Amino acid sequence: MGSLAKWIFGIVIMLLLTSTLTFAFNVKTAKNTWTGTIYIRADGSIDPSNAPIISYDNTTYILTTNITSSADGIIVERDDVVIDGAGYAVQGVGKYVGLDISGRSNVTIKNMKIRMFWCGILLSHSSNNSIIGNNITDNSNYGIWLKGSSSGNIVRNSIIENNADGIKLSGSLNNKIVGNNLIRNNWYGIEFYNSSNNCVIGNNLIRNGQNGIRLYVSSNNSIYHNNFINNTLQVGSPYSRNKWDNDYPSGGNYWSNYKGVDLSSGPYQNETGSDGIGDTPYIIDKNNVDRYPLMGPFNSFNISVGYSVDVISNSIIEDFRYFESNNTIVMHVSNMTADQTFGFCRLTIPHDAISPPYTVKVNDTTIGYQTVYENHTEEISIIYFTYEHSKLEITITPEFPSITIPLLIVIITTLLIASTKKRTKSKIS
């Protein structure tokens, strides 16, 4: 075979290989995405029957691949079910609803990515539903919309970003928006319209284009332990009066534009010593005041004994661990800015996790701490301590390790037994 023939043969083989690989790739992509609308019918059946969602008990429904839809994504017509996205995505075309649970109750939606619809999740006239651990992004109007007297619903542990409204409540009562990792880069992070008696607790509201939260004709809501960071306007609150803190010593919210200082402590901020709460209120408007603004972002860490440890700090918390074997907390922290020389931590510790008093160490050096609050009925302690900044390891342990108490009991019991035997022997002799 001549050199020209070999060259042509090589080109043909390469083209064949390329087309084969392209075909294989396209087949794989097709298998990983299903197109259409999924219905979970009132009798528990799945329609259409070939939809990539499975259930073995007509209660828990699990996605098995990504789905796309040019109409609604998933429509739920049955109460008391769990829709588990298993990490898969439901994607639209900028219109319709990603997941519709209108009129439903006791539905849980979790572990799902919902994007590029008109509304990611719609809750209309719905009650006692849970939206947990989802990623809801790039929806043209609403990430989540609770409307029409929806009540008792909870939105938790989710990422909600790049929507017009991250979460909107209209005409809805007694719902909870709790512990959402990011509500970011929306026009309104959260918007309430004519909605009252709801709770907004422990959320990160960051860089939203208009408001971190907007409340219009919406009063008697409780809003605290949230981090309002670099929103164009942290709060808009026309015709509304709400509660912006959880009283002392629990405190209010962290505001990135708060200019106050922390030199004092106590309910009236007139006692000696810092406590992680600003000495002056954060004024939103004449009807809305955070009386106890936090001096650092709020974080809550779940621990293995079924409780959480709340941390307020002006340091970056890179790692937080609780060791049940020896009742010890270990934290790794670093400075937020290059020129930061001072750091503080304020920890709310359940006594079932670590009983007071405590030993606090920074890089193995024991430091002092201030007890801000201690209540043996509530079984919590709040402690505050400071440190010079760099990259640090902080440990909090019981002053008397848990092994000490059983050991003391054994020693005392042994001595009592020995003493009793000695007295008995003396009486006999």
Please write the tens of the pLDDT for every residue from 39-97: 999 999 999 999 999 999 999 999 999 999 999 999 999 999 999 999 999 999 999 99
Q: Find the mean pLDDT for residues 204-214.
A: 98
Question: What confidence score (pLDDT) does residue 264 get?
Answer: 97
- Is it the case that residue 200 has pLDDT exceeding 60? yes
User: Distance between CA 207 and CA 184 in Å, rounded?
Assistant: 6
Question: What confidence score (pLDDT) does residue 123 get?
Answer: 85
Q: What is the CA radius of gyration of the chain?
A: 29
- Least confident among 20-24, 128-132, 142-146, 179-183: 20-24
Question: What confidence score (pLDDT) does residue 419 get?
Answer: 59
Pairing of strands 328-335, 370-375: unpaired
Please write the tens of the pLDDT for every residue from 217-275: 999 999 999 999 999 999 999 999 999 999 999 999 999 999 999 999 999 999 999 99
CATH number for the segment(s) 299-398: 2.60.120
All residues at 6 or more sequence positions from 391 whose CB lies less than 8 Å from its CB, including other chains: 332, 333, 334, 335
Question: What confidence score (pLDDT) does residue 422 get?
Answer: 55
338: confidence class by pLDDT, cuts 50, 70, 90 = confident
User: Distance between CA 280 and CA 113 in Å, rounded?
Assistant: 41
User: Distance between CA 139 and CA 345 in Å, rounded?
Assistant: 38
Q: Find the mean pLDDT for residues 296-314.
A: 94
Which two three-digit tokens encode residue 193?
A: 């319209």
Q: How many H-runs (helices) and E-runs (strands) does the chain carry?
A: 2, 43
- Is it the case that residue 381 has pLDDT exceeding 70? yes
All residues at 6 or more sequence positions from 77 whose CB lies less than 8 Å from its CB, including other chains: 39, 40, 41, 42, 104
Q: Find the mean pLDDT for residues 291-311.
A: 94
Q: Find the mean pLDDT for residues 189-217.
A: 98
User: Distance between CA 158 and CA 155 in Å, rounded?
Assistant: 7
Which two three-digit tokens encode residue 425?
A: 């022997």
- DSSP secondary structure of 161-172: ESSSEEEEEES-
Q: Find the mean pLDDT for residues 115-142.
A: 97
Domain spans, the chain: 33-290, 299-398, 403-429
